[in-house]
Amino acid sequence: MKKMIFPKPLKKGAKIAIISPAGAVEPSQLEKGIEMIKSKGFEPVLGQHLYTKFSNGYTYAGTEKERLKDINWALNDNEIGAIWASRGGYGCQHLVQHLKLKNFIHNPKWYIGYSDNTVIQSYLLKKGFVSIHGQTIKTSSFGVTKESYELIFDILKGKAPLYSLKSHQLNRKGNVTGEVVGGNLALIYALLGTRYTFDFRDKILFIEDIGENFYALDRMIMSLELAGVFSKIKGLIVGGMTNMGDEKENKSYEDSFDEFAYQLISERISKYKFPLVFGFPNGHIKDNRPLIIGGKAKIKVEAKVKIEF
């Protein structure tokens, strides 16, 4: 197993590129995040098409060519120290075949995002680089916490996260050490069978999702089962399952850890013996705490859950 490559810690004054690789955003949605970056002593550099809009069955942040131009600029500009996605949505799959890492491989940098950004993070992982599955710059309808951002800045400065959580009733006890892979379940599912899918062998898988009917959730879990994913991994972490089930129920974003979704997942993987963690605070939730994709983590699932990178 090759050793994963970590970017160098950021120093004060470092430039952080902000790009929109998927859905469109309004300037007002990023104001607080941009000011926060400045307040931490870093310089936000806005992608040329950060606020561009292109409608084609979905409102993207520009055409595929425009979004690709921004992400390849951010990946390869040697003056950029980190890349922070403005939001997720949909569109990263358009870009993944055309990503360039010519300069990036000599000057690795953190890529920060979640949701649709799982596609980009899968690509980087396949190339041997870690990334941060954490809160985007956009202030979303389900809010963000100051602590979520603070933990991202800690990682950027070289400090790895350490988590201590209450144990969920569906957890499965055990200790395991391994690289963390995964992200948004819908995108993990969408990448299965492609050359961009995660390598699941001996990994700790993380999953989260939003707005899926329960049968769709079951279908995705079944696809992972049929692909042999659960027979390969060493552990599973389940984060937010937000606004799941029948949309007519009008569930609020406060229902971030849907118990029926958790029960469904637990039943589907009941034959496996790996340690299992439910209720990790990451995903389309207010308290979206970062995980390092590709980072090696030690997990202890007992009366309390401890996760240490």
Which strands sit side by side in the sheet containing 235-242, from one edge to the other? Answer: 162-166, 304-308, 296-301, 174-184, 204-210, 235-242, 276-278
For the chain, what is the domain count?
2
Q: Which of these is catalytic: 49, 208, 212, 266?
A: 208
- The answer to whether residue 212 is catalytic is no
CATH code, 93: 3.40.50.10740
Q: What is the pLDDT of residues 148-200, one digit of tens each?
A: 999 999 999 999 999 999 999 999 999 999 999 999 999 999 999 999 999 99
Residue 5 lies in a domain: no
Query: Both 83 and 199 in a single domain?
Result: no
- State pTM to two decimals: 0.96
Query: Both 105 and 150 in a single domain?
Result: yes
Q: Which of these is catalytic: 49, 133, 168, 284?
A: 284
Query: Both 116 and 202 in a single domain?
Result: no
Among residues 132, 156, 180, which one ends one of the domains?
A: 156
Which band of pLDDT confidence, cut at 50, 70 and 90, is reported for residue 31? very high
Which band of pLDDT confidence, cut at 50, 70 and 90, is reported for residue 292? very high
H-helix or E-strand spanning residue 236 = strand 235-242
- Residue 242: the pLDDT is 93
Q: What is the pLDDT of residues 236-280, one digit of tens each?
A: 999 999 999 975 454 554 568 999 999 999 999 999 999 999 999
Range of the domain at 196: 162-308
- Residue 192: the pLDDT is 97
Query: Both 304 and 166 in a single domain?
Result: yes
- The answer to whether residue 284 is catalytic is yes
Q: What is the pLDDT of residues 209-234, one digit of tens each?
A: 999 999 999 999 999 999 999 999 99
CATH code, 242: 3.50.30.60
Q: Which of these is catalytic: 20, 86, 115, 256?
A: 115
- Residue 139: the pLDDT is 78
